[in-house]
Structure 1
Amino acid sequence: MRIALTKQPDMKVLSILKKIKNNPWVGIAVSLTLIIPSLYEILDDVTVFRKEYILLIFAFPLYIKSLKRIFDDMLDVYDDLSE
């Protein structure tokens, strides 16, 4: 009986998706692609409630969270270098 070591392609895709999800630059890019077009639509007529308001509710926290993670990583690297 032989045991073959094979890489499962499903696990490779899962690890790539985890890396993309945890990358704060991807979060910034996604949030900006939601924020910028939404602002153009909203600024046409502010008094009308549109779906873009809902998109902004989700995009701004994602943007802030991604920026916080980037700046925290920068500060951690700076702290490591100063020690």
Structure 2
Amino acid sequence: MTVSNNHIPMLKFIALCQKLMTNPYVGVLLSLLLILPSLYIILEDITIVRKEYVFLVIGIPLYICSLNRIFDDILNGDKNKFK
């Protein structure tokens, strides 16, 4: 009986997805991709309720949390790496 390594590429893909999900820079990029087009559409006429308001409700907290993680990493990180 032999052991197959067919699941190895899938494990690499899952590991890459986990790295992307925990990277705060990806969170900032995704939140800006939600916020900026939504603001452009909303500012055309703010009196109409649109689905872009939902994108703003999702994007702004994601942006704040991602920036918070970035700044925490900078402030709490190793101080010798900047020398």
TM-score (norm 1): 0.85
Partner of 1:28: 28
1:11 matches 2:11: yes
Q: Which has the higher helix share?
A: 1
Partner of 1:45: 45
Q: Compute the displacement of 1:8 (Å).
A: 1.2
Any gaps of 5 or more consecutive residues in structure 1?
A: none
Among all aligned residue pairs of Structure 1 and Structure 2, give the percentage whose two residues are the same amino acid.
48
For 1:35 and 1:2, how far apart are their aligned partners in 2? 51
Q: Compute the displacement of 1:9 (Å).
A: 1.2
SS of aligned partner of 1:9: helix
Any gaps of 5 or more consecutive residues in structure 2?
A: none
SS of aligned partner of 2:43: helix
User: Structure 1 residues 8 and 45, CA, compared in 2 at 3 Å: closer, same or farther?
Assistant: same
Q: Which runs of at least 4 in structure 1 moved beyond 2 Å after TM superposition?
A: 1-4
